[in-house]
Amino acid sequence: MGRRALLGVGGWLAAAVLTTIAVVWAVSLIGTDITGPAARPMTLEEVERALATASAVPSVGPPASAGPGSQALGFSYAEGSVTAACDAGRALLLSWTPAPGYGVDDVERGPAHTASVVFESDDRKTTVSLTCRSGTPVATVRSAVEHDED
């Protein structure tokens, strides 16, 4: 092989290597924009942080059938939040949101003498009961520690 052939092969290899490097660099700059944003699962900490910063209870007004003195009130606890109003002297649960680590086990929305929601975690069950006094919602909270039966 002559010197000219070696220079040709060497030049071709150098061009191939430089082209490969340039393509890899260009693709890394583009990132996931070619196929859209990358989807990855959130970690537990990211989920808890997002839930903690989210608005727990939407802003709502009293139901249309409530009297003029009726008002919606929000109640927040470590286990969750509720918004309630009174409808003709009966409790009406408008919204409920469990805190991170809790779920909703049972809901009695009303209107009824007593409306309620049960927030439950792995080891705790909390019942928020709502009644009406003079057209204003009043909350009562009852918590119990649950034991695993293994």
Determine the pLDDT at residue 47. Answer: 72
**What stretches in the chain show pLDDT beneath 50?**
55-66
Locate 61 and state its tokens. Answer: 């007004």
Task: Please report, for residues 4, 111, 118, the alpha-carbon distance to residue 79 in angstroms, rounded to integers and kept in the order given.
Answer: 80, 23, 9
Report whether 120 contacts 56 (CB < 8 A).
no
Determine the pLDDT at residue 84. Answer: 92
Determine the pLDDT at residue 53. Answer: 57
Locate 53 and state its tokens. Answer: 């910063």
Q: What percent of the chain has pLDDT over 70?
A: 73
Determine the pLDDT at residue 65. Answer: 46
Determine the pLDDT at residue 82. Answer: 92
Q: Which parts of the chain are beta strand (E)?
A: 73-76, 80-87, 90-98, 103-108, 115-120, 124-133, 136-145
Q: What is the pTM of this model?
A: 0.53
Q: What's the one-letter identity of residue 89?
A: G
